[in-house]
Chain A
């Protein structure tokens, strides 16, 4: 079976713009969560804080008219995608363009555009004043679409949508496409930028979000006893995946191997996970089996770890159920404690952190660990990043609808 490797990364998140800022932030335990600065939150909005990309200026990548035509998630997708391609040193031209695929994960897509247009035009029945760019500027697949236009990539181009698991499904699909020989390179990952009234009101209504308005930077506290819901974040990450032979032929630097992918469904509930976590257990097991890996080769798990009471309890149980005794040797952390939950882009930023952890030999921490929960009793790398060279990293992403996706990355050392 063809080996697939990561040769470039690009990332914009609440921790900053670019690979350096993000790796620096995530290994120094910085929080990217603050009172919302993107807009003036209505007084009736229950949660008034989120993870917003600091100082993001779309004009760095797009002209003013173009930026205006595309929802924000497209701006961040492009920023991350172009950084990833540059980072990989890959030139995309007539000689290889048809062999480069663009497959990204997007959960909700152009919500802000929808909200603005519905408010200004639809609700007031100015139906003939809806912008001609309204539809193309908000549909989920315009993320890989724009990336293919800007890079010239002419291989298959589409979006995986599976809520919070989206980007892992996109990475899994890219892995399969590369192994099958359908393409030689895949630009994959995810993008999401839905920090707006509609999204927050929706998540608040289902009591999914933390309401810790008096202390936002400590609100995202996965596995902690007093966790009270997830913190919404925005951002994008793109990884350049290639077959190993393609990477070696052009002398590319390799971050890590994408060793395996596993995906399952809970068939249980639209939002709550199976309490026994069996869907997650099977997804992790499948990813390891797919990579021909033994449980004991796993040294670190980048957990889904949303900071909701239900997920963190269930995911801990799932890890224990799968790994048994080896769970005691595992380091598990949730970088959502620092970035917040980027929904369709979550698995993408977490994939970047996973491959960098393997390459750099540093495991990111879970911050905001104040009071331990007896039901969450694994080693969550509290507070401080840890120097450790591990062989295999598992990255979990579990979404509404009971969809589970896990990717296993392996060290290139």
Chain B
């Protein structure tokens, strides 16, 4: 599975939405995630891709596309 597909799958599972709803343009806020849920989401990315995301970097991840691009960068 590509990084993009995996990220979308994790977001869908963590936020309780369908994969189809997780489009790159969506913000996590629009997908129903409050601030605690976003922290948890970033932790799920960290667990899945075995990476560490700095606090400052995490706060920049506001959209699905931002998360995909960031994790693609970290894992390539």
Asked whether B40 lies within 8 Å of A64 as measured between CB atoms, the reply is no
> Given that A129-B43, A129-B46, A129-B47 are known contacts, is A65 also in contact with B15, CB under 8 Å in the complex?
yes
Q: Which of B15, B16, B36, B47 contacts A132 (CB 8 A)?
A: B36
Contact B14 A132 (CB under 8 A): no
Q: Are B40 and A132 in contact (CB under 8 A)?
A: yes
**Chain B: number of interface residues, binned into ranges:** 10 to 19
Residue pairs across A and B with CB atoms within 8 Å: the count is 22
Contact of B36 among A64, A129, A133 (CB under 8 A): A133
User: Which A residues are CB-close (under 8 A) to B47?
Assistant: 129
**Given the interface contacts A63-B16, A64-B16, A65-B14, does A132 sit within 8 Å of B46 by beta carbon?**
no
**CB under 8 Å from chain B, chain A span 99-145:** 129, 131-133, 136
Give the Cβ gap from B33 to chain A, nearest Cβ, in Å: 9
Q: A132-B36, A133-B36 are in contact. Are A65 and B16 (CB under 8 A)?
A: yes
Cα distance A69–B40 in the bound complex, in angstroms: 10
CA distance A66 to B47 in the complex (A): 20
**B40→A133 contact, CB < 8 A:** yes
Bound: A129/B37 CA distance, A: 13
Interface string of B18-53 (1 = CB under 8 A from A): 000000000000000000110110010011000000
Residues of A within 8 A of B (CB): 63-66, 69, 129, 131-133, 136
- Known interface pairs A65-B14, A66-B16; 20 further A-B residue pairs with C-beta atoms within 8 A, sorted by A's residue number: A63-B16, A64-B13, A64-B16, A65-B13, A65-B15, A65-B16, A65-B37, A69-B40, A129-B43, A129-B46, A129-B47, A131-B40, A131-B43, A132-B36, A132-B39, A132-B40, A132-B43, A133-B36, A133-B40, A136-B36
